Amino acid sequence: MPDLPTLKRRRLLVAAFVLAVIANLRPAVADETVDFVRDIRPILEENCWHCHGSDEQESGLRLDRRAAMLKGGDYGLATVVPGDPEKSYLIEVINHVDPDMAMPPDEDMLPEAQRDLLRRWIAEGADWPGQMADTAADVTTELPWSFKPFDRPPIPDVLTSSDNPIDAFLLSDLHKNKLGFSPLADPATLIRRVAVVLTGLPPTPEEVVEFSRAFVASPEPAYAQLLDRLLASPHFGERWAQHWLDVIRWAETNGSESNMYRKNAWIYRDYVIRAFN
């Protein structure tokens, strides 16, 4: 049977071991620097990398490389801005600011402790061991053109007979590329070009004859009247609505194997056409 001093030593060793284990398992406290390997990597690996890792990058976003997080995805916003959580898109999506862009998708919000760790990690500079040196050359902080404010350039100083400043820009580029204007189109060619562009339909023979006579007599008024007539045509809306409907993937059926008919799809189609007309 062990003596009393031996039992005391054993108890002290057990207590010291338990305290050491607890110290290693406890989460980072508020006044402690966030450690990427201990605190951040497990969060990303469990919640993010299956959709935004090396094998799959939904929305062009990759979260298993620091450089890729700084660059962001298809939306053009930096996922992480080191030192500035408020400008980091990651903080916005994990806090479900926009329900349509909440992450993780279709799941509950990350626990507050994990969200706080991510915020503090970014505020402390988003340190990522082994990936700090290769970010400067790989990442650009310049926003895509579509996210930049409009800039009004000066009108080029070129001689033009037009009062429209757009023509000055066109003429300036023509001069830079040593190009000139195309030959003037005859009335029959002109009405066909305009009709096909605005309505998608060629003019009738009668319309060609009528416009040709008017154009020979008075070109500018005849051309202006032609444009007004085509823009007022219901075919103008039908022609140009198709571009918007193509962008949003509008269709009257579901496609795939069943190809079921959407009986009310025409309502939105007609709404878009009316909006153009």
Note the pLDDT tens digit of each residue in 58-97: 888 888 888 888 888 887 788 899 999 999 999 998 988 8
Q: Enter the tokens of residue 224.
A: 């202006």
180 and 192 in a single domain? The answer is: no
In a domain, 13, yes or no: no
Torsion from C-alpha of 23, 25, 29, 31, nearest 10 degrees? 50
Domain identity same for 138 and 50: yes
The pTM of this model reads 0.45
Query: Which residues span the domain enclosing 173?
Result: 155-184
Of 94, 97, 247, 74, residue with least CA distance to 147: 74
245/211 same-domain check = yes
**112 close to 95: Cβ distance less than 8 angstroms:** no
Q: Are residues 252 and 264 in the same domain?
A: yes
Give the residue-averaged pLDDT of 119-127.
Answer: 92
Sign of the C-alpha dihedral computed for residues 53, 54, 56 and 60 taken in this order: positive
**Can you name the residues that pair with 57 across neighbouring β-strands?**
52
Residue 107 lies in a domain: yes
d(CA 277, CA 274): 5
The pLDDT tens digits of the residues spanning 196-223 come to: 999 999 999 999 999 999 999 999 999 9
How far, CA to CA in Å, does 174 sit from each of 90, 142, 180, 193? 46, 30, 6, 22
For residues 174 and 114, state if they share a domain: no
* 262 membership: H or E segment, kind and range: none
What pLDDT, on a 0 to 100 scale, did the predictor assign at position 136? 41
Is residue 66 in some structural domain? yes
| pLDDT for 103 beyond 50 | yes
* Residue type present at position 111: P
Statement to judge: residues 160 and 73 lie in one domain: no
Q: Measured between alpha carbons, how far is 205 from 228 in angstroms, rounded to an integer? A: 19
Does residue 135 sit in the same domain as residue 175?
no
Query: Domain check: are 41 and 125 in the same one?
Result: yes
Count of the separate structural domains present in the chain: 3
Structure tokens at 267: 């309502």
- Tens of pLDDT, residue by residue over 239-275, are 999 999 999 999 998 887 778 888 899 999 999 999 9
Share of the chain above pLDDT 90, in %: 46
* 164, 228: one domain: no
One-letter amino acid identity for 76? G
- 262 Ramachandran zone, left/alpha/beta (phi>0; psi -120 to 50): beta
How far apart CA 153 and CA 169 sit, in angstroms, is: 10
For residue 24, being part of any structural domain is answered with no
Compute the distance between CA of residue 246 and CA of residue 239 in angstroms, rounded to an integer.
Answer: 12
Residue 59 lies in a domain: yes
138 and 228, same domain (yes or no): no
Inside any domain, residue 132? yes
* Cβ–Cβ under 8 Å, residues 195 and 202: yes
Q: Note whether 233 and 172 are same-domain residues.
A: no
The verdict on residue 29 lying in a domain is no
Domain boundary residue, one of 118, 147, 176: 147
Same domain, 244 and 159: no
pLDDT for res 65: 87
Of the three residues 147, 168, 201, the one that is the final residue of a domain is 147
Residue 170 belongs to some domain of the structure: yes
| φ, ψ (nearest 5 deg) of residue 192 | -65, -45
Cis peptide before 153 (omega within 30 of 0): no
